[in-house]
Amino acid sequence: MTATLTWTLVALAALIAFGLYLSWTAGRLDRLHSRIDAARAALDAQLLRRASVTQELATSGVLDPAASIVLYEAAHAARQAEEEQREVSESALTQALRAVFGEAQQVEVVREAPGGEEAARELTEAVRRVPMARRFHNDAVGAARRLREHRKVRWFRLAGHAPFPLAFEMDDEPPNALVDRAA
């Protein structure tokens, strides 16, 4: 009788410990999903800021008409893009920025205009923050994916109904003239 009671208590303790472990893992996964949501919100804010600063600069009259049109259309497309096309449109904005600000003389033209120094500074900050925000988001996505790949998470459905996290892949390399100026 004593041996049976002892084994029952050991099994119960093991079951409770395993349940606590699963609960801790589910909580960790929930925190990772919250981190992804916060990182995505920060990324969206930085992308919106970059597009807004670009549109403002394009409509300021500082740039030549062709550059203004290229930047305005790319920024407008990035701001209006549906979620499925967001990565492509943001990459197109990055490419437009590199095309217009590929050389330092274009940045100097902006800086020499009234209010241009502030506009150049804002654009430089905006294009430098996007890669950082994207990296934070993708790091959080990677951590959640690695945890969700464990058997215990799949077998016990610890992720619940949360969608599988997706990385945000885009071309985010800033124009050399803006990066060199900020350094």
| Of residues 110, 9, 108, 109, the one with CA closest to residue 53 | 110
Per-residue pLDDT band at 88 (split at 50, 70, 90): very high
pLDDT at 115: 86
Contact yes or no for 89/81 (Cβ under 8 A) = yes
pLDDT at 103: 87
Rounded Cα–Cα distance for residues 89 and 95 (Å): 10
**Which two structure tokens, joined as six digits, stand for 116?**
């241009």
E strand map for 22-150 = none
**Which two structure tokens, joined as six digits, stand for 77?**
């497309």
pLDDT at 181: 53
| Of residues 138, 135, 159, the one with CA closest to residue 149 | 159
Count of CB atoms situated within 10 Å of the CB of 18: 12
101 pLDDT more than 60: yes
User: Mean of the pLDDT values across residues 100-107?
Assistant: 90
Q: Per residue in 40-60, pLDDT tens?
A: 999 999 999 999 999 999 999
pLDDT at 46: 98
Per-residue pLDDT band at 1 (split at 50, 70, 90): confident
| 3-class SS string, 124-155 | HHHHHHHHHHHHHHHHHHHHHHHHHCCHHHHH
User: Mean of the pLDDT values across residues 151-173?
Assistant: 93
Compute CA 103 distance to the chain's CA centroid, rounded to the nearest angstrom: 27
Segment 155-164 long-range contacts (CB within 8 Å, at least 24 positions apart): 156/22, 158/22, 158/25, 158/26, 158/29, 159/29, 160/26, 162/29, 162/33
100 pLDDT more than 80: yes
Rounded Cα–Cα distance for residues 178 and 161 (Å): 43
Q: Is 115 left (phi over 0), alpha (psi -120 to 50) or beta?
A: left
